[in-house]
Chain A
Amino acid sequence: MLLYTLRRLLLAVLVAFTVSIISFGLLRLSGDLAAAIAGPEATEAQIEAIRVDFGLDQPLVMQYVDWLLGALRFDFGNSFYFRDSVVSLVADRLPVTLTLGALAIMFALIVSIPLGVLAAVKQNTWIDRSALTIAVSGQAMPSFWFALILILVFAVNLRWLPVSGSGTWAHFILPAVALGYYATPAIMRLTRTGMLDVLASDYIRTARAKGVRPGKVLFKHALRNAVIPVVALAVVQFGFILSGSIVIETIFSLQGLGLLMWESIGRRDFPVVQAVLLLIAMMYVALAFIADLLNAWLDPRIRVA
Chain B
Amino acid sequence: MNKLLHLTLLSAGAFAFASVNTAPSALAGPDNDTLVWASDSEPENVSPYHNNLRERVVLARHVWDTLIYRDPDTGEYRGLIATDWEWVDDTTLEVNIREGLTFHNGDPLTAEDIEFTFNYVVDPDSGVVTRQNTDWIGSAEAVDDYTVRIHLDEPFPAAIEYLAGPTPIYPKAYFEEVGLDGFSREPIGSGPYKITEVRPGQHVRMELFEDYFEDSPRAEATIGTLIFRYIPDGETRLAELMTGSVEWLWRVPADQADQLEAVPDVAVTSGETMRVAYLRMDAAGRTGDDNPFTKLEVRRAVNHAIDRQAIVDSLIRGGARVINSACFPEQFGCEQDVMVYDYDPDKARALLEEAGYADGIETNIYAYREREYTEAVIGYLREVGITANLQFMQYAALRDLARAGEVPIDNQTWGSFSINDVSAITTTFFNLSGDDFAQDEQVAEWLQMGDTRTDPAEREEYYSKALQRIAEQAYWVPLYSYSTNYAHIEELDFQPYPDEVPRFYAASWK
Direct contact of A and B (CB under 8 A): yes
User: A155 to B243, Cβ gap below 8 A?
Assistant: yes
Docked pose: A239 CA to B9 CA in angstroms: 14
User: A168 to B26, Cβ gap below 8 A?
Assistant: yes
Docked pose: A274 CA to B233 CA in angstroms: 23
User: A231 to B23, Cβ gap below 8 A?
Assistant: no
Residue of A nearest to B245 (CB): A162
Docked pose: A165 CA to B231 CA in angstroms: 9
Chain B, range 1-53, C-beta contacts under 8 Å to A: 1-2, 4-5, 8-9, 12-13, 15-26, 44-45
Residue of A nearest to B24 (CB): A167
Seen from chain B, the residues whose Cβ lies within 8 Å of a Cβ on chain A are: 1-2, 4-5, 8-9, 12-13, 15-26, 44-45, 127, 129, 131, 180-181, 184-185, 199-202, 231-233, 235-236, 239-240, 242-243, 245, 392-394, 396-397, 399-401, 403-404, 434
Knowing A89-B201, A95-B16 are in contact, say whether A167-B236 is a contact too (CB < 8 A): no
Chain A, range 219-237, C-beta contacts under 8 Å to B: 224-225, 227-228, 231, 234-235
B201 touches which one: A83, A92, A251 (CB < 8 A)? A92
User: Which residues of A are found within 8 Å of B20, using beta-carbon distances?
Assistant: 95-96, 99, 166
Residue of B nearest to A170 (CB): B26
A235 touches which one: B8, B22, B129, B403 (CB < 8 A)? B8
Knowing A163-B245, A164-B233, A165-B23 are in contact, say whether A268-B200 is a contact too (CB < 8 A): no
Residue of B nearest to A266 (CB): B394
B16 touches which one: A84, A89, A102, A235 (CB < 8 A)? A102
Q: Is A187 at the interface (CB under 8 A from chain B)?
A: no
Docked pose: A183 CA to B195 CA in angstroms: 43
Q: Is A151 at the interface (CB under 8 A from chain B)?
A: yes
User: B16 to A81, Cβ gap below 8 A?
Assistant: no
Seen from chain A, the residues whose Cβ lies within 8 Å of a Cβ on chain B are: 35-36, 39-41, 81-84, 89, 92-93, 95-96, 98-99, 101-103, 105-106, 109, 148, 151, 155-156, 159, 162-168, 171, 224-225, 227-228, 231, 234-235, 238, 250-253, 255, 259-260, 263, 266-268, 298
Knowing A255-B21, A263-B232 are in contact, say whether A101-B16 is a contact too (CB < 8 A): yes
Knowing A255-B21, A260-B201, A267-B397 are in contact, say whether A167-B26 is a contact too (CB < 8 A): yes
Beyond the given pairs A40-B404, A253-B236, A255-B23, 20 more chain A to chain B contacts, judged by CB atoms under 8 angstroms and listed by A's residue number, are A40-B399, A82-B200, A84-B200, A92-B200, A95-B20, A95-B21, A98-B16, A162-B245, A163-B245, A166-B21, A167-B24, A168-B26, A225-B1, A227-B2, A231-B5, A234-B8, A251-B233, A255-B202, A263-B394, A268-B397
User: B396 to A267, Cβ gap below 8 A?
Assistant: yes
Docked pose: A93 CA to B201 CA in angstroms: 9
User: B236 to A164, Cβ gap below 8 A?
Assistant: yes
